Structure 1
Amino acid sequence: MDPLSDVITVMRAGEPRSARVRWHAPWGQRFMTVPGSAGFQVVLQGSCWLVPREGEPVPLNTGDVLFLPHGSGHGLADSPGSVLAEPACDPRDGARFEERHAAPAVGLDRGDDPAATVTLCGAYQLDRGRTHPLLDSLPEIVHLPARVGHRPELRAAVDLLGAEIGRERPGADALIPALLDTLLLYILRAWFDERAESGAGWPAALADPAVTSALSAVHREPARPWTVETLGAVAGLSRAAFARRFTALTGQPPLSYLTWWRMTTAARLLRESDAPLSAVAARVGYRSEFAFATAFKREFGVAPGRHRRLTDARAAGR
C-alpha cells in the first residue's frame, strides 16, 4: 500500500454516492457544506459557473473537474448572476434526488436537450477523526480544467462513470463504487503531480523517492519495529538527513507518523473485523495487548474495546 491508495481504502466510511444531473437554463443550485466528507463535480456536457462561498465566480467547461476535499459549500449556475436555489442535492443520500432510488448511484438524465448542462456530482463520507494529513493539506476547492490530450486516464475515468450512472445495468452496484474510487485517485494524483515541483508539503513528499520509500514501507509493514535509522536506510539516507527531509515535507517526524498510521490501521481493524485485541495489537506492531491499549487510549481517548463497541453501536444506528 501507499499513502495515496490508503486515502481511499482507510479514510472512507460508507459507500460513496453520485448522481448525473441535467440542468436547463436558467438554473442555479447551492450545495451544502458537509463536514467529514469529500465531494466532486464534473461537467460532462455544456458549461456553467462555479460560485464559491468566497471569491469571484469561475467559468467551467465540458471536462472540467472540481474536487472539494473538505466538503465545502459551493454553488453551480448557468451564469454568475443566477439565483441559487437552497441545498436540495446531497449525494450522500440518493433519496434526496429521487425517492425510488436507494442504490449508490442516481440518474436524473432525462430528455435530450443539447443545450442542457450535464454534471456528475458525488461525495465520500470520511472518518472525521482520522483524515489523512495528505487530504488536510488540500485547498477548499481543487479545479482541474480540461485540456485536450492532458490527463487521459482522468478523462477515461470520467467517461466510464458518466456512462454507467443511471443505466441500472447488472453489476452497477459493484462497478460504480470502484469507478468512484478510481476517479478520486486520478484527481488526487493529477493535483499532486502538478504541484510536485513546489518543493514543499505532501506534493513534494510524494514526489521525493526517499520519503516515498519510507512511507511505503510504513504502510506496507506497520508492525515492523521501525526506527528512524532503519527507515533512513530504506530511504537511502543517514538518520539525521532522513529525519530532516521527512519532517520538512510531511509536517511531522517519522516516528510520529508511524504511530499515527499504526493507530489509524488499528481503528480500521477494530471497525471492520472481529479479530481479538491481541491480534489487532500484533498487526500494528505491539507485542503486548496492554501496551497497545495504552497507546490507543492516548490517541483516541478510549480503550480499544470500548472504541469497537461504540463503532458497532453507531453502525447499528444508521
Structure 2
Amino acid sequence: MDTMAGLLDGPKARGAFMMKTVLNPPWSVRIEDRAPVSLVTMVHGDAWVAPDHARPYLLRPGDVALLRGPDAYTISDRAGTPVQILVGPDQRCSTVADGKDITESTALGVRTWGEAGRAGAAVMLSGTYQAPGEIGRRLLAALPVLLVRPAGAGAGAGAGDNPLVRMLADEIGKDEVGQGVVLDRLLDLLLVDVLRAWLAAPGAGAPGWCGAQADPVVGPALRLLHEQPAAAWTVASLAGSVGVSRAGLARRFRQVVGEPPMAYLAGWRVSLAADLLREPDTTVETAARRVGYSGAFALSAAFKRIRGVSPQRFRKGGGEGSGGEPVADSGEGETVVLGG
C-alpha cells in the first residue's frame, strides 16, 4: 500500500453534516461546533473565514478551505461584520442577540439553510466530519488551522470549473435513495484533493515524515508495515526485508519519521484497531488479531499506552476524546494557502 494512501484513506465520512447556506449581506456566522474537520467552499459571493488562532483569509468562489478543529471560527461577508448567528456543538443555530433557536425557522429545503436569496446573496457549501476515521488522525493532527486551496491552484479558475465543487453543489440539495452516502464520498474526495495538494506543495508546511515514502530506506520499510501490519515484525526482520542493517534502518527511520520503527508500527496497529472498533460487530479480540496482537489483553495494553484509554472506553465514547495524540502538531496557529 502507498504509505500516504493509507493515511489519506483514514477520513471516511459517515453521515457527515452537509449544508448549503444562503445569506444576504451583511452577515456573520460564528461556528463553535468543535468538529475535528470542516470543509467550506463558496459558490456565489466572497467570504472572510477567520479562525480564532490563525490569520483570516478571503474565500472566492471555488476556493476550498479546510478548517482543523476543535477551535472555533467565524465566516462573514466582510472583516469586522458583527456576529449574528452562532452554530453550536449539536449543529443548532441561534441568534447572538437573544439566543433564539432558528435552526428550523430558517430551513429553506433539503440541506439548505439561511435566508431567501436576493441579489448579492452569498451561497456557501460546508461539510463537517463528526468523527474522522482514526487511521487519518496522524495526518490530520499535522494540519495547519486553516488550509486553503484556491480555485486557480487546481484544475479550474472558479467554482464552475472545479468538478468536485460542482458535483457537491448539484447533489447537496437532493433527497434520493442513498443520498447521504453519495455526499459522504464527495466530501471525502474533496478533502483528499486538498490534502494531496498540500502534501505535494513545496514549502507548504507538511511534516517531514510525509515525504518518508520517497526515502530509499524508510520508504520500503513503511510500505511493508502498512501492507502487512499483522506480521511479526522486528527491527531486524524489517531491515532484512529492505536490504539494510538493523542499526542503519533504526537510525534512518528515527531521523526521517521521528520515532523508532516498532513505535511507529504500534501506533499504526492501534490506529487500525480504532477504526475496526467503530464497527459494532467487531470484538476487541478480533481487532487485536487482525492488526497483529496476540489477543485482547495485548491490544488493550497498547491501546491504553498510546491512546490513553482502553478499547472498551474508546468504543463507548464513539471514538471521541481519546488521548495519546495531540489535537494539533506542527501546524498549530498557521494559515496555509496553497500556491500563495
| TM-score class, shorter | 0.7 to 0.9
SS at match of 1:247: helix
Paired position in structure 2 for 1:85: 84
* Aligned residue among 116, 126, 129 for 2:131: 126
CA 1:292–1:185 in 2, change beyond 3 Å: closer, same or farther? Answer: same
> What is the alpha-carbon distance in structure 1 between the residues aligned to residue 155 and residue 17 of structure 2?
27
Higher helix share: 1
SS at match of 1:188: helix
* Aligned residue among 140, 152, 158 for 2:145: 140
CA 1:43–1:273 in 2, change beyond 3 Å: closer, same or farther? Answer: same
Question: What is the identity, as a one-letter code, of the residue corresponding to 1:119?
Answer: M
Moved more, 255-264 or 85-94: 85-94
CA 1:208–1:161 in 2, change beyond 3 Å: closer, same or farther? Answer: farther
> What is the alpha-carbon distance in structure 1 between the residues aligned to residue 6 and residue 105 of structure 2?
34
SS at match of 1:87: strand
Q: Does 1:21 align with 2:13?
A: no
SS at match of 2:277: helix
Q: Does 1:172 align with 2:188?
A: no
CA 1:209–1:273 in 2, change beyond 3 Å: closer, same or farther? Answer: farther
SS at match of 1:168: coil
Moved more, 171-180 or 276-285: 276-285
SS at match of 1:29: strand
SS at match of 1:132: helix
Paired position in structure 2 for 1:246: 253
Which whole-Å deviations, capped at 9, do the CAs of 1:41-86 have from their partners, x for residues lacking one?
Answer: 1112221222332565422211111111233311121111311224
Which whole-Å deviations, capped at 9, do the CAs of 1:237-291 have from their partners, x for residues lacking one?
Answer: 5544443443333332221110011122223333414345443332121235544
Q: Does 1:72 align with 2:78?
A: no
CA 1:62–1:234 in 2, change beyond 3 Å: closer, same or farther? Answer: farther
> What is the alpha-carbon distance in structure 2 between the residues aligned to residue 76 and residue 312 of structure 1?
29
> What is the alpha-carbon distance in structure 1 between the residues aligned to residue 315 and residue 51 of structure 2?
40
Identity of aligned residues (%): 32
> What is the alpha-carbon distance in structure 1 between the residues aligned to residue 180 and residue 199 of structure 2?
30
What is the deviation of 1:31?
1.5
> What is the alpha-carbon distance in structure 2 between the residues aligned to residue 123 and residue 187 of structure 1?
15
> What is the alpha-carbon distance in structure 2 between the residues aligned to residue 59 and residue 292 of structure 1?
46
> What is the alpha-carbon distance in structure 2 between the residues aligned to residue 223 and residue 204 of structure 1?
24
The 8 Å contact of residues 65 and 148 in structure 2, kept in 1 or not, is answered as yes
* Aligned residue among 215, 222, 231 for 2:229: 222
Unmatched tracts of structure 1, length 5 or more: none
Question: What is the identity, as a one-letter code, of the residue corresponding to 1:28?
Answer: S
Question: What is the identity, as a one-letter code, of the residue corresponding to 2:262?
Answer: L
Question: What is the identity, as a one-letter code, of the residue corresponding to 2:21?
Answer: V
- 1:155-234 map, 5 Å: 155-195=162-202, 201-205=208-212, 208=215, 210-232=217-239
Question: What is the identity, as a one-letter code, of the residue corresponding to 2:182?
Answer: L
Question: What is the identity, as a one-letter code, of the residue corresponding to 1:41?
Answer: V
Q: Does 1:115 align with 2:120?
A: yes
TM-score of the superposed pair, with normalisation by structure 2: 0.74
* Aligned residue among 267, 288, 293 for 1:281: 288
RMSD over aligned Cα, in angstroms? 3.9
> What is the alpha-carbon distance in structure 1 between the residues aligned to residue 197 and residue 102 of structure 2?
30
Moved more, 52-61 or 173-182: 52-61
Which whole-Å deviations, capped at 9, do the CAs of 1:153-187 have from their partners, x for residues lacking one?
Answer: x9221211111111223331221111111111111
Question: What is the identity, as a one-letter code, of the residue corresponding to 2:15?
Answer: E
TM-score of the superposed pair, with normalisation by structure 1: 0.78
> What is the alpha-carbon distance in structure 2 between the residues aligned to residue 303 and residue 148 of structure 1?
43
Which whole-Å deviations, capped at 9, do the CAs of 1:104-161 have from their partners, x for residues lacking one?
Answer: x722377564522211112112369886222111111112222166479x92212111
> What is the alpha-carbon distance in structure 1 between the residues aligned to residue 42 and residue 216 of structure 2?
35
Between the two structures, name the one with larger relative contact order (CA 8 Å, sep ≥ 6). Answer: 2
The 8 Å contact of residues 51 and 145 in structure 2, kept in 1 or not, is answered as no
Unmatched tracts of structure 2, length 5 or more: 95-100, 321-340
> What is the alpha-carbon distance in structure 2 between the residues aligned to residue 216 and residue 187 of structure 1?
23
Moved more, 234-243 or 92-101: 92-101
SS at match of 2:151: coil
The 8 Å contact of residues 30 and 74 in structure 1, kept in 2 or not, is answered as yes
